[in-house]
């Protein structure tokens, strides 16, 4: 399908650079000023004007004149080519490797990083990526230059271990604290290895772990609600998996893109991406538990409401139920096929959590609440973000069921983590729940919850 060559957008690079000089994430800056991280992100993308009271607060926090803050709010028109600017196809060998390294280099370049942060999510490129994944042959890589590093399995295993460590930290602390270290690792450690020399077997595994790291970078940008930036990294992860000939890793990149499309209400693209992920995993001989996880992604895509309707018909709910039943059967089946490192955290608790969220999207709140409670019993201390999300999912479902006391019980438990985790998604979930409480604002219990939330400085 056709795609526009250029994507126009706006940005306030002065505000971005001011925040970065203070070494603050968007979430930390938002907390300092007393707004949501979503609002701060909209300020930086010039999607929302800033009220005078917040200009004064920023001036006080930064200890600068208000006039200087006014200068930071100057809007620049950006002309960004989301695909071609970062992924120049020039018939030369190694374009996949070069485009990935270029993206990682831009991430640590302070003169370019704000351009990536301002990138919009672009549905049009997804069709090209799907076609390329399905039909294009892997690109050939050029011969390494003189003096290039020799890459062996020791280096590949080091990247695998780093990926596992970064993933654990992401689960525990949220993306805001971990992502800068991930980008530095990609640019300083992984990029030189991609430029090195290796045997064919080692090169394939190197591209696989580079794909996994790039997917993690995209996932973290997604957790911070930087959706255009996330899309770029996920697209690179898909291309690196294609280069490696690794259908299983490619399936996970497709599934992550599908999850992002779900959250952005791009239902049609979510269904296509999730279906492609299941098919790629099938061809790769995926273990049954990997299949279960990807079937749930398909169910989530079907369960997402589109702009034309708020409620699902019985047929759609039935299709969601069918996919979830298949996922549970696959999960309980003895696993076979190649292990996938990214599925190691897909436990029974995570299965319940994912199924519960699908039921919530489909409007089946009794089922959703039961699954959320089951998940909360299984999550340990290593998964505070998952616990936080499920507390809020339970709160939302009980609110929809009219059980206000039970809803507020779970919401109160979620308040501390909303502040502690560097996750914009988590804060957005809490903000959404607070908004849904508005019809009950005169209730004493709701007022007490609101006071408690404000005392924690998150609302």
Mean pLDDT computed over 376-380: 90
Decide: helix, strand or coil at residue 47: coil
Do residues 108 and 184 lie in contact, with contact meaning Cβ atoms separated by under 8 Å? Answer: yes
Residue 334 in tokens = 């003895």
Q: What percent of the chain has pLDDT over 90?
A: 58
User: What are the structural domains, with CATH classification, of the chain?
Assistant: 1-80 (1.10.260.40), 91-245 (no CATH)
In the chain, pLDDT over 70 holds for what percent of residues? 88
Distance CA 321, CA 299 (A): 8
Q: Please state, as a whole number, how many other Cβ atoms lie within 10 Å of the Cβ of residue 184.
A: 13
| DSSP, residue by residue, 95-163 | HHHHHHHHHHHHHH-TTTHHHHHTPPP-THHHHHHHHHHHHPPPPPPPPPPTTPPB--HHHHHHHHHHH
Closest C-alpha to 452, from 418, 422, 402 = 418
Q: pLDDT tens for residues 394-415? A: 999 999 999 999 999 999 999 9
1-49 pLDDT tens trace: 333 333 445 678 788 888 877 778 887 888 889 898 888 888 988 888 8
Predicted pLDDT of residue 18: 84
Report pLDDT for 220: 95
pLDDT band at 200 (very low <50, low <70, confident <90, very high): very high
Confidence band, pLDDT 50/70/90 cuts, at residue 340: low
Contacts of residue 132, defined as CB under 8 A and 6 or more positions apart, other chains included, come to 239, 242
Q: What is the pLDDT of residue 345?
A: 75
Pick from 3-7, 98-102, 336-340: least confident? 3-7
At residue 66 the predicted structure's pLDDT band, cuts being 50, 70 and 90, is confident
pLDDT at residue number 29: 87
Give the pLDDT confidence score for residue 324 in this predicted structure.
97
pLDDT digits 0-9 by tens, 290-332: 999 999 999 999 999 754 455 678 899 999 999 999 999 999 8
Q: CB-based contacts of 408: which residues, under 8 Å, 6+ apart?
A: 395, 445, 446, 449
Helices (H), 189-313: 191-194, 200-223, 227-244, 247-263, 267-283, 288-303
Check residue 407 and give its pLDDT: 97
DSSP states of 65-80 as a string? -HHHHHHHT--EEEEE
């Amino acid at each position: 399908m056709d795609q526009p060559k250029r994507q126009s957008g706006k940005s306030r690079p002065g505000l971005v650079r001011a925040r970065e000089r203070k070494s603050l994430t968007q979430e930390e800056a938002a907390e300092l000023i007393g707004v949501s991280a979503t609002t701060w992100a909209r300020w930086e993308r010039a999607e929302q004007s800033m009220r005078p009271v917040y200009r004064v607060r920023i001036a006080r926090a930064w200890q600068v004149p208000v006039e200087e803050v006014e200068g930071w709010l100057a809007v620049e028109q950006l002309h960004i080519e989301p695909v071609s600017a970062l992924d120049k196809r020039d018939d030369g060998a190694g374009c996949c490797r070069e485009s990935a390294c270029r993206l990682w280099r831009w991430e640590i370049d302070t003169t370019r990083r704000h351009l990536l942060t301002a990138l919009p999510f672009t549905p049009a490129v997804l069709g090209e990526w799907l076609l390329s994944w399905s039909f294009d042959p892997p690109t050939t890589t050029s011969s390494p230059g003189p003096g290039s590093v020799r890459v062996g399995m020791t280096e590949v295993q080091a990247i695998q271990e780093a990926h596992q460590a970064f993933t654990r930290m992401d689960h525990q602390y949220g993306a805001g604290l971990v992502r800068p270290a991930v980008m530095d690792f990609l640019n300083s450690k992984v990029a030189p290895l991609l430029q090195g020399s290796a045997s064919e077997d080692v090169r394939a595994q190197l591209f696989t772990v580079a794909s996994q790291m790039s997917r993690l970078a995209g996932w973290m940008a997604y957790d911070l609600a930087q959706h255009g930036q996330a899309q770029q990294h996920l697209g690179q992860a898909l291309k690196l998996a294609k280069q490696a000939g690794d259908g299983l890793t490619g399936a996970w990149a497709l599934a992550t893109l599908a999850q992002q499309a779900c959250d952005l209400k791009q239902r049609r693209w979510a269904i296509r991406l999730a279906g492609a992920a299941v098919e790629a995993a099938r061809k790769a001989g995926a273990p049954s538990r990997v299949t279960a996880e990807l079937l749930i992604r398909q169910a989530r895509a079907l369960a997402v409401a589109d702009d034309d309707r708020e409620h699902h018909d019985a047929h759609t709910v039935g299709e969601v139920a069918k996919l979830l039943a298949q996922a549970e059967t696959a999960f309980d089946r003895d696993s076979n096929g190649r292990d996938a490192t990214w599925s190691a955290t897909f436990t029974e608790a995570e299965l319940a959590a994912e199924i519960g969220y699908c039921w919530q999207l489909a409007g089946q709140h009794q089922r959703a609440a039961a699954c959320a409670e089951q998940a909360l019993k299984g999550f340990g201390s290593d998964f505070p973000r998952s616990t936080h999300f499920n507390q809020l999912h339970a709160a939302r479902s009980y609110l929809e069921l009219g059980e206000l006391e039970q809803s507020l019980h779970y919401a109160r438990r979620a308040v501390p983590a909303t502040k502690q985790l560097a996750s914009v998604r988590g804060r957005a979930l809490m903000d959404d729940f607070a908004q849904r409480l508005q019809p009950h604002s005169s209730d004493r219990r709701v007022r007490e919850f609101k006071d408690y939330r404000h005392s924690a400085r998150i609302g």
